[in-house]
Amino acid sequence: MTVPHCIRLQGPWQVIPPGGDAATTPIDTRIPATWKSLFGEAAGTAIFRRRFNTPTQLEERDRVLIRIPDDAGEIFRCSLNGVVLSPCATNPLLFEVTAYLKEFNHLEVHLNFTPAETRCDVGGLWKPVLLEIHALTSHSPDE
């Protein structure tokens, strides 16, 4: 299998904290950041939003995927440009987005996390979300 080219979607994100809804004004923050650094011991579902441009020089046969970091929490929903994404069959942290890319993109990740149920200082987008570009091969990127 070839190694994908990865673009880190770190830096500025907008976040709606647990208990918020569509009417809640998002908080601007920098990712990566642990759940506890953003929300303390609050449990629930937070909404993370990030805008990005489609990578340049994509070839027609390239596949583009979004990878959420391990131990982020339960992914309640992941969408790109308003399309709810299904995780890849063999990896619930990997989402195929090739068909949904536009020139300017809006990624939204709904994460559910309960800090009291974990002993480690992770959770949330504690590592960068990755935009993976896979050149078409005979292998699937979610193997």
Secondary structure letter of residue 11 according to DSSP: E
Q: Alpha-carbon distance 113 to 41, whole Å?
A: 10
Specify the number of domains making up the chain: 1
Residue with the two structure tokens 């500025």: 12
Kindly report, residue by residue over 14-27, the tens digit of the pLDDT. 999 999 987 899 99
- Find the CATH number of the domain harbouring 95: 2.60.120.260
Full residue range of the structural domain in which residue 50 is found = 5-134
86 found inside a domain: yes
Report yes or no on 52 lying in a domain. Answer: yes
Instruction: With respect to residue 28, please indicate whether it lies within any of the assigned structural domains.
Output: yes
How many whole angstroms separate alpha carbon 62 and alpha carbon 132?
10
Condensed to tens digits (0 to 9), the pLDDT of residues 67-105 reads: 999 999 999 999 999 999 999 999 999 999 999 999 999
What's the CA dihedral at 94, 11, 40, 119 to 10 degrees? 50
Share of the chain above pLDDT 70, in %: 94
Handedness of CA 62, 31, 122, 92 (dihedral sign): negative
Q: Structure pTM?
A: 0.89
Write out pLDDT tens, residues 34-60: 999 999 999 999 999 999 999 988 988
**Within-domain flag for 142:** no
